[in-house]
Amino acid sequence: MSKEKLIIFDTTLRDGEQSPGAAMTAPEKLRIAKALERLKVDVIEAGFPASSDGDFAAVQSIARTIKDSVICGLARANAFDINRAGEALKDAGQSRIHTFIATSPLHMREKLQMEPDQVVEQAIQSIKLARNHTDNVEFSPEDAGRSELDFLCRIVEAAIKAGATTINIPDTVGYNLPNQYGNTIKQLIERVPNSANAIFSTHCHDDLGLAVANSLAGVMNGARQIECSINGLGERAGNASLEEVVMAVKTRHDLMPCYVDLDTTQLMNCSKLVSSITGFAVQPNKAIVGANAFAHESGIHQDGVLKARETYEIMRAEDVGLVSNKLVLGKLSGRSAFKNRLEELNISLDSVEELNQAFRRFKDLADKKSEIFDEDIQALVSNFIEEENTSEKIKLVSIKACSETGETPEAKVTLSIDGEEKTAVAQGGGAVDAAFKAIEDMISSDANLQLYSVSNVTEGTDSLGEVAVRLEKSGRIVNGQGADTDIIIASAKAYVNALNKLLNPGDKVHPQVFEGV
């Protein structure tokens, strides 16, 4: 029997962005969307256009740019949201509107304060309205995991009749167990008379660590779409992790009723990109994309893998795009070697001018660090694109920091602010603290520092340090990144990068600030 295709619906840019602190600017969302398109994701949920003008613009620019994936926008089941989503998506090659309304007794009574009949009617009207914008409409009964099966059957039947082509079953609060969730999908497909006219989809949250298991149970029982996100990013404990469901379906194709059609060699790139943009580090033991996912520490394992890889490895590292600590370039490497390596790493720059600028940065790095690894190139280019995409009101001109035992650390920072240079000196608990204080003396942003983290890109003390800084002001959250072999400089770059985003009024509001979702 030939297998059916499993649709991979990525919601990193929508549910993922609802993670506390995982704010992304419109250019960052577009960068991730391009990476998802290279991964050959079937559907990209680009955002929630009604939530803010910024998110509307982000969805619109993704819809106008991405050609190979369906672009989806989320909308509550009301006319305003649906028309906003339709408008944002109107230039997409292939578009989908995803509309939802809660169906659990608790949500209908407490949150919506609506009778079940009214909920069904609102779902029907919303789906009909969405069909005026696109013939690809998805409906989600929110909190389906805690809804009554009879009511779910009723609303799903009505939704399909009204024109929904995908029925998504969210376990919104991550409450279900795999057999329970799988059974819900099975019952719906069996009991809803017109179920054959729609594709059933899973949307599982990870509150009990069961999101991937529940999604796969859904597939075993007839679902043909999984909603998931890179690194499992999402509300609270997150969503089903895309890399885990995809590699589970691929690796255990012997037991799976369907197949996935993604370029899995892009998984590592996508994971790194999302982690660096959001400032959410990937835990080392994370399945598929964690730093240790393919590392064998014990002698017995190393010996086995050297004799026959399959003794301890069920997947090939290359299949998920893992390129490990390979010495590729050095000080004497030329522009074409650099360009070739970018191509091998699937990194694309938009113009020759960008390539030239990235190459200049590579040369600067090679002056400081004799051995340049793939990871260095990835971090360097990621940082470069980040700066290119941020409208730079503030630029870091120079920084000098002093740390001495028994003395108070001090930093002298020169910034260019709207083209005018200013210098400040400040003291702090450490050199980084002093640098941030000096910057604040000049900018007075009044922002709260929510996250400061440093990670080394490769091993060794001459490694590039990647710094993530998260700032919050009046509900707006931004993430800044900076990389340098000197972590004080990397920190100052990350802080300035975050400030530029914070001071850019065009940037979007974090979706969590939007009331009523």
Local structure of residue 110 (DSSP, 8 states):
I
Q: Residue 100 binds which one of ligand KIV, Zn ion, none, with CB within 5 to 8 A depending on kind? A: ligand KIV
Interface with ligand KIV includes 140 (CB under 6 A)? yes
Site for ligand KIV in 86-105 (CB under 6 A): 100
Which lies closer to ligand KIV via its Cβ, residue 170 or residue 482? 170
Q: Which of 172, 225, 229, 275 binds ligand KIV (CB under 6 A)?
A: 172
Nearest approach, Cβ of 168 to ligand KIV (angstroms)?
Answer: 6
371 — phi, psi (to 5°)?
-110, 120
Nearest approach, Cβ of 499 to ligand KIV (angstroms)?
Answer: 32
**Do residues 223 and 188 make contact, with C-beta atoms less than 8 angstroms apart?**
no
**Do residues 281 and 455 make contact, with C-beta atoms less than 8 angstroms apart?**
yes
Nearest approach, Cβ of 170 to ligand KIV (angstroms)?
Answer: 3
User: How far is residue 384's CA from residue 483's CA, in Å, rounded to a whole number?
Assistant: 9
Interface with ligand KIV includes 55 (CB under 6 A)? no
Site for Zn ion in 7-26 (CB under 5 A): 15
Q: Specify burial of residue 481 (Cβ count, 10 A radius: 0-12, 13-18, 19+).
A: buried
And the tokens for 30? 């577009």
How does strand 410-417 pair with strand 420-427? Answer: antiparallel
Among all chains, which residue has been given the structure tokens 């089903």?
240
**Do residues 169 and 218 make contact, with C-beta atoms less than 8 angstroms apart?**
yes
Nearest approach, Cβ of 110 to ligand KIV (angstroms)?
Answer: 16
User: How far is residue 454's CA from residue 438's CA, in Å, rounded to a whole number?
Assistant: 20
Interface with ligand KIV includes 15 (CB under 6 A)? yes
User: How far is residue 164's CA from residue 120's CA, in Å, rounded to a whole number?
Assistant: 13
User: How far is residue 173's CA from residue 151's CA, in Å, rounded to a whole number?
Assistant: 19
Interface with ligand KIV includes 28 (CB under 6 A)? no
Q: Residue 140 binds which one of Zn ion, ligand KIV, none, with CB within 5 to 8 A depending on kind? A: ligand KIV
Interface with Zn ion includes 472 (CB under 5 A)? no
Nearest approach, Cβ of 166 to ligand KIV (angstroms)?
Answer: 11
Which lies closer to Zn ion via its Cβ, residue 13 or residue 396? 13
Q: Residue 264 binds which one of ligand KIV, Zn ion, none, with CB within 5 to 8 A depending on kind? A: none
Interface with Zn ion includes 138 (CB under 5 A)? no
Q: Which residues contact 15 (CB under 8 A, 6 or more apart)?
A: 45, 227, 229, 233, 234, 235, 239
Binding-site string for ligand KIV from residue 191 to residue 220, where x marks contact by CB under 6 A and - marks none: ------------x-x---------------
Nearest approach, Cβ of 78 to Zn ion (angstroms)?
Answer: 18
Nearest approach, Cβ of 487 to ligand KIV (angstroms)?
Answer: 37
User: How far is residue 51's CA from residue 171's CA, in Å, rounded to a whole number?
Assistant: 22
And the tokens for 444? 């007075």
Sites of contact with ligand KIV (CB under 6 A): 15, 100, 140, 142, 170, 172, 203, 205
Sites of contact with Zn ion (CB under 5 A): 15
